[in-house]
Amino acid sequence: MREFYSETIGVHAQALFQEEEGQAIAVWRRSFYVRLGGQLCCVGADTIGNGPRNVIVSNATGVDWRDYVTPNSPVTIHEHVLKLGVARIGFKAVAVWTPPAIPEWTPLALRSGLEHFNRLIRQVQLPDEGLGCFTAPVQRISDRNHTAAAAAPTIQAIINWLRDGHTPSRIPELSKLLGLGPGLTPSGDDFLAGVMVATDSVGRREATKTIWNALREHLSRTNQISAAHLSSAAHGCISSSQHELLNGLLSGSPSRIEAAMTVITKDAHTSNWDCLAGIITILHAI
């Protein structure tokens, strides 16, 4: 039996503090998901980064979780220990991660942040698939990027709706983006997560609520893991690196923007780019 210890858990993973029985629902080399008490949690080493549902294990560098847990296997929480397969993860001395506070910001500071971001993005190779192309100041959708082509009309409809006062009765059909594109959390879902956190962060909380109310009726169009992350985004929580970039943009801080972009551009998956595209779209629209 191998012993692991957690150092941080996300604010929406606090089912780990309860006596619960659950199940491992998906397992990869770097991480795995468990369902506990109706909550989904993602467990992994610090390489997965902090987030609302992430559980960071401090002594798991290089660990292949497939050696310790299998999909659909039972897991239990007892006395601050998660027991699974041939491993135990302790949670007795653990910090709860919450998103950083939204900085004081002004339209001038935001404009400065977006201008700096635009200069950086021109020097970056954008992903060939997904919705990362919508982070660019001049968007060029590749003929091969069917996801972006399919999403473009709905994205423009979101922009128009926000600029026209985001009346609930006139909200566009956002469910067209649910389940759209590649990834465990599909590109369209990640874009919507960025949209909700950005609208919430700039004080458009009624718009965020309207978007979430429109989406939650159609979550069957995506998978349970992505639906859980959308729920977190509806309550103002995404990954740590995305929050850092968003706050850097709002405060017009080049150093914060550059530090967060370094993390995001190293990610081989499209999810960070897709979420970022949602954030950038909203910040340009307001």
Asked if 197 and 237 count as a contact pair (C-beta separation under 8 A), the reply is yes
Is residue 22 within a helix (H) or strand (E), and if so which, with residue range? strand 21-27
Question: Any bridge partners for residue 2, and if so which?
Answer: 87
Torsion of CA 58, 63, 64, 68, to 10 degrees: -70
pLDDT at 131: 95
pLDDT at 1: 86
Question: What count of other Cβ atoms lies within 10 Å of the Cβ of residue 197?
Answer: 28
Asked if 259 and 226 count as a contact pair (C-beta separation under 8 A), the reply is no
Q: Distance between CA 191 and CA 185 in Å, rounded? A: 10
pLDDT at 268: 65
Between strands 2-10 and 95-97, the pairing is parallel
pLDDT at 205: 96
Range with lowest mean pLDDT among 49-63, 218-232, 262-276: 262-276
Q: What is the mean pLDDT of the chain?
A: 94
The percent of residues above 70 in pLDDT, for the chain, comes to: 100
Interval 191-247: pLDDT, tens: 999 999 999 999 999 999 999 999 999 999 999 999 999 999 999 999 999 999 999
Interval 84-133: pLDDT, tens: 988 999 988 899 999 999 999 999 999 999 999 999 999 988 888 999 99
pLDDT at 137: 85
Q: Which residue in the block uniquely carries the two structure tokens 């919507």?
A: 192
Q: How confident is the model at residue 168 (pLDDT cuts 50, 70, 90)?
A: very high
Mean pLDDT of 250-277: 92
Q: Which residue in the block uniquely carries the two structure tokens 């429109």?
A: 214
Between 154 and 145, whose confidence is greater? 154
